[in-house]
Amino acid sequence: MTKTCDVVAIGSGHNGLVAAAYLAAAGKSVIVLERNAWFGGGVVTRELTVPGFRHDQHSMAHIFIQGNPLLLNDELGLKSKHGLSYIVPEMPMMSIFEDGATLALYRDRDRTCAEIAKYSARDAAAYAGLAAQAAQWLPMIAATLYSAPAPMGASTALLDQSPEGRALWRTTQMSTHDLLTSVFEHDRVRMHFARVAGENLVSPDEKATALGVYVFVGFLEAYGFGVPRGGSGALTDALIASIRSHGGEVLADAEVERVEVRGGRARGVRTRDGREFAARDCVIGAIHPHHLGETVEGIDPRIAASAAATEISPNACITVHAALREPVRTRAGEAPRAVMVELLPDRYETLRRSFDELRYGQLSPYPLIGFGSLSQFDPTRAPAGAATLHAWDYVPYVRSDGRSWDGAKAQYAERMLEHMRRFLPNLTPANIIAYHCDSPLDMERTSPSFVHGDLHGIAMSTYQSGAHRPTPELAQYTVPGIERLYLVGPFQHPGGGVFGAGRATAMRICEDLKLDFARAVARA
Ligand SMILES: Cc1cc2nc3c(=O)[nH]c(=O)nc-3n(C[C@H](O)[C@H](O)[C@H](O)COP(=O)(O)OP(=O)(O)OC[C@H]3O[C@@H](n4cnc5c(N)ncnc54)[C@H](O)[C@@H]3O)c2cc1C
């Protein structure tokens, strides 16, 4: 039996839900189909360890979505009507070094400068300059993040027309390392910012990554790192509530096998268990470029082939989620008060060499561990006095020793915990009630977006960014030759992260359906 609606969305990741929610608000009947038994893809909170402990399985800090008009102007009423709220701690990030010394980044620039001055007065002044530049660039950068990407050639030509534009272009081409060595003198300050930018899964030595430092600092000061009350999944819950309030449906255990195309137009989808959903207006698909060819009937084989050739990042994620009897403390006996905490070696070179090893498919000799313990900000996540811990490290998807991550992850998780104990002495076996580890294999099983454990879906290299993301043909969220099929996912512009990028897809759909996007927003 076929069920018919206006819009069928494949996947309940936040981007698919955002796109579907705008269309539901515009008056379209919407059905979202999710292959998992739960919703949210990378934006999900689950009791992964023991009851009462709620873990953000993937994303935990909602950073870039804070500048999206979706939240900035509360366009869908997620905050005012559907229960979404954020805690915004004053200290988004900190680093802890081997000897127990720390370096924190605050939203307040003067406080950050005072932290950096512990290491170098010159670097503190340099940070003030970098942060001022980041604030100046932020509106322009933010303007590119929540709509379809501008053409590559035109954007570059525009930048080339002024000294300011050329300075920005230069920064876009530099490596994080090039930038940091030119701005800062102290090894630890350089390392701290290299690791901040490294949260994008990139080595500081990767060319064309330096702008990431400005983007992080700009967002961090302007918006802070949002910690959703109730967990990352609170965003998913609010989006689903919005869709349902407009009569839309969001269904679990519905894996789409095929997008059905007739007369060059997407007409609906078929699920793996044989159900059919017809779409009068359009299909929205969280379809990874590597899977487009097998999922979309009649797709141009050249388009499918170039999508299949998109490159995955060599650095995959592995995570440990722990339920703790008591919050972690540093060697100085303090609870780290930042949203994200980086555990760093004594020398910057050690960090760079660890990233280097990943290029060759080796485990990094010095773990690249970051963690967050968000129950300190949001007590709804753990029983009174107890805590949650979310730790991550970077590893190759294919291990050079030939072992499968299924067999090897338990040993690796123990290695991570042992390493963390050097910085957090009370992270003892007695303090850990239970823990859950997701290897890169688990990551791609939870969402096909995370192919090979790449949280961006595909690498964020320049040739796969902006108007070339994932490929030049697919960058406008459409599939040439197949009308009314629209794409969402971390592999589309602007990339991996909780951006709410489905808004740009919804804008594109409204344009094609001759719907007034602004009126849809007003109706919501
Ligand atoms: C470990 C980890 C930590 C992260 N931390 C952060 C962070 O702190 N901050 C941040 O901003 N970002 C973070 N990210 C990145 C962020 O989570 C993702 O980039 C983002 O969630 C992508 O959202 P999406 O909606 O595009 O795709 P996804 O979240 O991947 O959603 C896609 C959904 O579609 C479903 N689906 C796919 N194919 C089908 C099909 N055929 N049929 C039915 N359903 C289907 C999937 O099951 C999934 O639910 C992290 C990612 C990982 C893996």
- 30 CA to centre of ligand 1 in angstroms: 20
Q: What is the pLDDT of residue 21?
A: 98
Task: Tell me how far apart the alpha carbons of residues 113 and 469 are, in angstroms, rounded to a whole number.
Answer: 36
Query: Would you state the pLDDT for residue 145?
Result: 96
Of ligand 1's listed atoms, the one at least distance from the Cα of 488 is 26
Nearest CA to ligand 1 atom 1: 58
pLDDT, tens digit (0-9, with 9 covering 90-100), for 215-255: 999 999 999 999 999 999 999 999 999 999 999 999 999 99
Please state the atom number of ligand 1 nearest to the C-alpha of residue 57.
1
Residue 41 Cα, ligand 1 centroid: separation in angstroms? 4
pLDDT of 1 above 80: no
Q: Is 449 in contact with 286 (CB distance < 8 Å)?
A: yes
Distances in whole angstroms, Cα of residue 372 to Cα of each of 69, 85, 482: 27, 19, 43
Q: Looking at residue 467, what is its pLDDT?
A: 97
Q: Which atom of ligand 1 is nearest to the CA of 392?
A: 1
Tell the residue nearest (CA) to atom 2 of ligand 1. 58
* Ligand 1 mutation pick, 201, 455, 469, max ligand atoms within 8 A of CB: 455
Binned at pLDDT 50, 70 and 90, residue 457 comes out as: very high
Helical spans, DSSP H, in 146-202:
152-159, 163-173, 176-183, 187-198
Candidate from 239, 257, 469, 498 with most ligand 1 atoms within 8 A of CB, to mutate? 498
User: How far is it, in rounded angstroms, from Cα 327 to Cα 223?
Assistant: 26
The torsion angles phi and psi of 520, rounded to 5 degrees, stand at -60, -40
Question: Residue 488 in 3-state DSSP?
Answer: coil
Query: Tokens at residue 192, please?
Result: 């701290």
What local confidence, expressed as pLDDT, does residue 510 receive?
97
Least Cα distance to 199 among 93, 357, 312 occurs for 93
Find the 459 Cα to ligand 1 centroid distance in Å.
15
User: 128 C-alpha to center of ligand 1: Å?
Assistant: 35
Distance CA(286)–CA(10), nearest Å, equals 6
CA of 465 to the centre of ligand 1 (A): 18
Nearest to 292 by CA among 284, 303, 282, 280: 303
Global confidence as pTM = 0.98
416-454 pLDDT, tens per residue? 999 999 999 999 999 999 999 999 999 999 999 999 999
Enumerate residues lining ligand 1, CB below 6 A: 10-16, 33-36, 41-43, 58-61, 63, 255-256, 286, 317, 319, 392, 443, 447-450, 455, 488-490, 496-498
DSSP 459: -
Q: What is the tally of helices (H) and strands (E) in the chain?
A: 17, 19
Q: Which of 78, 112, 203 minimizes the C-alpha distance to 498?
A: 78
pLDDT digits (tens, 9 = 90+) for 307-323: 999 999 989 999 999 99
Q: Find the 286 Cα to ligand 1 centroid distance in Å.
A: 9
Q: Which of 392, 449, 450 to mutate to test the pocket of ligand 1 (most atoms within 8 A of CB)?
A: 449
Amino acid at the residue 291: H
Q: What is the pLDDT of residue 520?
A: 81
Distance from the CA of 136 to the center of ligand 1, in angstroms? 31
Q: Choose one of 17, 35, 93, 450 to mutate for the ligand 1 pocket test, by most ligand atoms within 8 angstroms of C-beta.
A: 35
SS3 104: strand
CA of 449 to the centre of ligand 1 (A): 6
Give the whole-angstrom CA distance, residue 320 versus residue 362. 20
The DSSP annotation for 312-361 comes to PPS-EEEEEEEEESS----TTSPPP-SSEEEEE-SSHHHHHHHHHHHHTT
Select from 170, 168, 210, 173 the least CA-distant residue to 193.
Answer: 210
Cα-Cα-Cα-Cα dihedral sign, residues 157, 162, 164, 166: positive
**What one-character-per-residue DSSP string does 433-454 give?**
EEEEEE-HHHHHHH-TTSGGG-
Contacts of 449 (CB under 8 A, 6+ apart): 13, 41, 42, 286, 288, 457, 489, 490, 491
Can you tell me which atom of ligand 1 is nearest the CA of 61? 8
pLDDT per position as a tens digit, 499-514: 999 999 999 999 999 9
- pLDDT, tens digit (0-9, with 9 covering 90-100), for 115-169: 999 999 999 999 999 999 999 999 999 999 999 999 999 999 999 999 999 999 9
CB 48 within 8 A of CB 57: yes
Per the CB < 8 A criterion, the answer to whether 321 and 375 are in contact is no
Q: Whose CA is nearest to atom 6 of ligand 1?
A: 59
Q: Please tell me the distance between residue 373's alpha carbon and the centre of ligand 1 in angstroms.
A: 21
Coil, strand or helix at 381:
helix
Residue owning the nearest CA to atom 48 of ligand 1: 41
